[in-house]
Amino acid sequence: MAKSSIQWLRAQGVEFTEELSESGEKVLHLNREGGHSHRRIVHTADATGKAVSLSLIDRAKEHPNITLFEHHNVVELITTSATPVGKTIVGAYVLDTQLQKVKTMLAKVVVLATGGASKVYLYSTNPQCATGDGIALAWRAGCRVSNMEFMQFHPTCLYHPKAQSFLITEAVRGEGGRLVLPDGTPFMANFDARAELAPRDIVARAIDHEIKKRGIDCVYLDISHKPESFILHHFPTIHKKCLKFGIDITKQPIPVVPSAHYTCGGVLTDSFARTDIANLYAIGEVASTGLHGANRMASNSLLECLVFAERASIDILNKLPNIPVPKPVADWDESQVSDSDEEVVVSHNWDELRHFMWDYVGIVRTDKRLYRALSRVELLKYEIAEYYSHFRVTSDLLELRNLVIVAELIIRCALQRKESRGLHYTLDYPVCDNSRAGVNSVLTPDNWQGIA
Residues in contact with 428: Cβ distance below 8 Å, sequence separation at least 6, in sequence order: 366, 367, 418
34 vs 408: CA distance, rounded Å: 30
The amino acid at 338: S
Catalytic residues: 200
User: Among 92, 133, 95, which Cα is nearest to 114's?
Assistant: 133
Based on the number of CB atoms within 10 Å of its own CB, is 55 exposed (0-12), middle (13-18) or buried (19 or more)?
A: middle
Q: Report the relative pairing of strands 254-263 and 178-180 from DSSP bridges.
A: unpaired
The amino acid at 145: V
Residues in contact with 246: Cβ distance below 8 Å, sequence separation at least 6, in sequence order: none
